[in-house]
Amino acid sequence: MAKNSNLSQAKSAKNDEFYTQYADIQNEINAYIDYNPEVFRGKTILLPCDDPEWSNFTKFFAQNFERFGLKKLISTSYAVESKAVKSGYMPSLFETQSPDFDEIKTRIKGKIFTLDSDTNGNGRIDVEDLQWKYLNRDGDFLSEEVTALRDESDIIITNPPFSLFRDFLLWIIKANKKFIIIGNNNALTYKEVFPLIKNNQVWLGNGFNAGNAYFRIVSGADKYVSGVYDETSGLVKFRNCCWLTNLEHGRRHQPLQLMTMAENIKFSKHKEIKGVGYKRYDNYDAIDVPFTDAIPSDYEGVMGVPITFLDKYCPEQFDIIWRGGDMEWAEKECDFFTPPLPLKMAEYKKQDRTWRVQNPYLLCENDKVQTVYQRIFIQKKK
């Protein structure tokens, strides 16, 4: 928890300078290509919140422009003077050696890079053909300038500012665009995000290798990521990041291989299940399944599972009902919400000041409450 909390600290400090590794981008995009080789053909791709001098997104798509059959590639960067962390900035040789270089604009204006033709006449379209100019403003994705580029594009791909993830996703959804973006796992339960996941409008992407996301950071930002920053490599490591998308990929339709309830109780590798069985919540008519691989394949009722289930969610196998902890939903829509009597509520609150009636909880020995971590309610597909 301490390590993953560093991402929240960086978010609070508005330090959004996390640069994705080329190999991670390649691994993710290849999953969509493997599922549908024509997925990017004839498409205009927008990479907002990007900076080709630092970021690998533009480099990757520029180098694969012809292989993917792209129509046009557009990337935009955010002005350094508008960023929270400004230290260590130096314009690249690519920019300073251009006749369009401006010492003032380089700090206060965003930049736009475009690729759509063989500008140097070498017979191929690649990173050497990128054209650039300064934007009229600082490159904020909410500006009219970048919003117009959003409207022009077919697919939006980037690692957006974590502190603005909610606004960024809604900015994409509003325009009904296809996308592949990186976010914090905690964002999956945001009230603006979770309904999209429940309704299969948005889902998790292929994912980072072994669940580990490595990012490069700018000079001076390491103070926000103590404990996960490697001085030797200059990388930070997070385990609570994911790719979010509305493009199809093969892993999304792979059902989980699960044991029956009886098999889990007999053979599970988890001591909480083996020889013990499944506990029922006191306030919801559902069983608690603390591990995704312990979901009983033959159980027909409602189950509470961890958020990490979403990374393995197959829409042909399970229905997502809703998320625990939503009081309005529990009181108005949930037909299996069973709150305790007021006297018991007062007793549980006295035991644990963080206890909330809408959060799934278990009753242990001597009537002691145990609130479980965030749960998602699911049910086997009928």
Tell me which amino acid residue 281 is.
Y
Angle 150-153-159 from CA coordinates, rounded to 5°: 65
Helix, strand, coil in percent for the chain, rounding step 5: 35, 20, 45
Residue 275 and residue 236 share a domain? no
Are residues 222 and 290 both part of a single domain? no
Based on the fold, state whether residues 141 and 44 are members of the same structural domain. Answer: yes
Residues 306 and 353 in one domain: yes
Residues 149 and 298 reside in one and the same domain: no
Q: Do residues 300 and 320 both lie within one domain?
A: yes
The b-or-e profile of 23-35 (16+ CB within 10 A means b, else e) is ebbeebbebbeeb
Domain boundary residue among 205, 231, 253?
253
| 3-state SS, residue 122 | coil
- Look at residues 253, 273, 304 and tell me which one is the last residue of a structural domain: 253
Q: 203 and 265: one domain?
A: no
- Shared domain check, 193 and 69: yes
User: Tell me, what DSSP letter sits at residue 376?
Assistant: E
Cα(277)–Cα(362) distance, integer angstroms: 14
Q: Tell which of 253, 269, 301 closes a domain.
A: 253
Instruction: Tell which phi-psi region holds residue 172, choosing left (phi > 0), alpha (psi between -120 and 50) or beta.
Output: alpha
110 and 240 housed in the same domain = yes
Total domains in the chain come to 2
Question: Please, are residues 361 and 283 in contact by the beta-carbon 8 Å criterion?
Answer: yes
Residue of 234, 162, 185, 215 whose CA lies nearest to 16: 162
Per-position pLDDT tens, the chain of length 382: 344 444 444 444 445 667 899 999 999 999 999 999 999 999 999 999 887 667 899 999 999 999 999 999 999 999 888 877 666 677 777 787 888 888 899 899 999 999 999 999 999 999 999 999 999 999 999 999 999 999 999 999 999 988 899 999 999 999 999 999 999 998 999 999 999 999 999 999 999 988 888 888 765 545 445 557 777 777 888 888 999 999 999 999 999 999 999 999 999 999 999 999 999 999 999 999 999 999 999 999 999 999 999 999 999 999 999 999 999 999 999 999 999 999 999 999 999 999 999 999 999 988 899 999 899 999 999 8
328 in the same domain as 246: no
E strand map for 289-360: 302-306, 318-323
Q: How far is CA 378 from CA 206, 229, 253, 287, in A?
A: 21, 36, 17, 10
Degrees, nearest 5: CA angle 162-142-19: 35
- As given in the structure block, the two tokens for residue 330 are 């529990």
Q: Which residues pair with 377 in a beta bridge?
A: 304, 322
Strands 369-371 and 361-363: antiparallel
- Which of these, 165, 207, 175, lies nearest to 30 by C-alpha position? 207
Of the candidates 139, 77, 80, 83, the residue with the CA atom closest to the CA atom of residue 104: 80
How many other CB atoms are found less than 10 A from the CB of residue 95? 18
Closest CA relative to residue 310, chosen from 183, 154, 219, 218: 183
DSSP calls for 280-304: BPSSBSSEE--SGGG--TT--SEEE
Whole-number Cα distances in Å, 335 to 283, 286, 306, 330, 338 = 11, 11, 21, 8, 9
Element (H, E) at 373: none
Residue 50 lies in domain: 2-253
Sequence-ordered list of residues with C-beta below 8 angstroms from that of 89, at least 6 positions apart, any chain: 80, 107, 218
pTM of the predicted model as reported, rounded to 2 decimal places: 0.90
92/194 same-domain check: yes
Which residue bears the tokens 């002005």? Answer: 79
